[in-house]
Structure 1
């Protein structure tokens, strides 16, 4: 596996990162109707309860993103995205590991997420990482185009 990238917490409003977020939004729009897309907005990504990660290649180019939205004992993964030319190299696994590690540092008990039924690579990534399917949570509605998953990190204290 190629590990020629670095993952760090960064501010999401950087122009290069905004371009990545926009690419992810365009990809989602090509697969799903608007009512089945649940991206966190740029303003939302800048909230105090969000930990936003960026993976950069060895030239410093932003190649992937991921966010952790903290909700006390649980957190939600949002905005996982990898540029096309870096897919299949383990970047998404590394970003996910970084987000899980951050969740553990924040004493999160459970990680949750929503993704789409046509997002096969994402579904495989999450299943292989230990996420299991569950029902809607936190205001999401049941949607045949959505898949809801969670992973328990620790028992609540």
Structure 2
């Protein structure tokens, strides 16, 4: 029997997205106990109409979203792939879907922020064309943040 993979566009009000973000937050808090409230205040779930979720055998296993950063730029947010489905290309698929969606809406640039210990994420972002840039607001001065940018 083959595994069924389904990708959907939805909003941040989708319960599967909310559950995946809770798992993301739990993993980040566990990996970064040294971070203080100054960092985590930037890590909130906002109402967002631009969410992508991947389902694997009818289970939500990966997500990401974007929000408008400025008139030409989106910011990728809340990228997460469940532990049991990592290495299956889902993060790259989520990014591709988000970038295509943003391009359809007229955006030409994408920025994102990740943390310095997220070596796999940084490697993935660089593999698909993101470059490390100076930290942008609200991450200026946060030494553990790595900001990246790509033309879409």
SS at match of 1:115: strand
Contact 2:4 2:58 in 1 (8 A): no
Contact 2:139 2:145 in 1 (8 A): no
Alignment of 1:32-111 (within 5 A): 32=32, 33-34=35-36, 35-37=38-40, 38-41=42-45, 44=46, 46-47=47-48, 50-57=49-56, 59-70=57-68, 71-111=70-110
* TM-score, normalising length: structure 1: 0.85
Contact 2:109 2:151 in 1 (8 A): yes
Task: Kindly provide the CA deviation profile for residues 61-105 of structure 1, in whole angstroms up to 9, marking residues without a partner as x.
Answer: 111110011232100000000001100010111111101111111
Contact 1:40 1:78 in 2 (8 A): no
SS at match of 1:98: helix
Contact 1:75 1:112 in 2 (8 A): yes
SS at match of 1:122: helix
Contact 2:12 2:50 in 1 (8 A): no
Equivalent residue number for residue 127 of structure 1: 126
* TM-score, normalising length: structure 2: 0.87
Tell me the distance in 2 between the aligned counterparts of 1:40 and 1:110: 22
Deviation at 1:138, TM superposition (A): 3.1
Deviation at 1:60, TM superposition (A): 1.4
Contact 2:51 2:64 in 1 (8 A): yes
Tell me the distance in 2 between the aligned counterparts of 1:3 and 1:81: 20
* Equivalent residues, number: 146
SS at match of 1:17: helix
Q: Which runs of 5+ in 2 are unaligned?
A: none
The alignment's C-alpha RMSD in Å is 1.8
SS at match of 2:50: strand
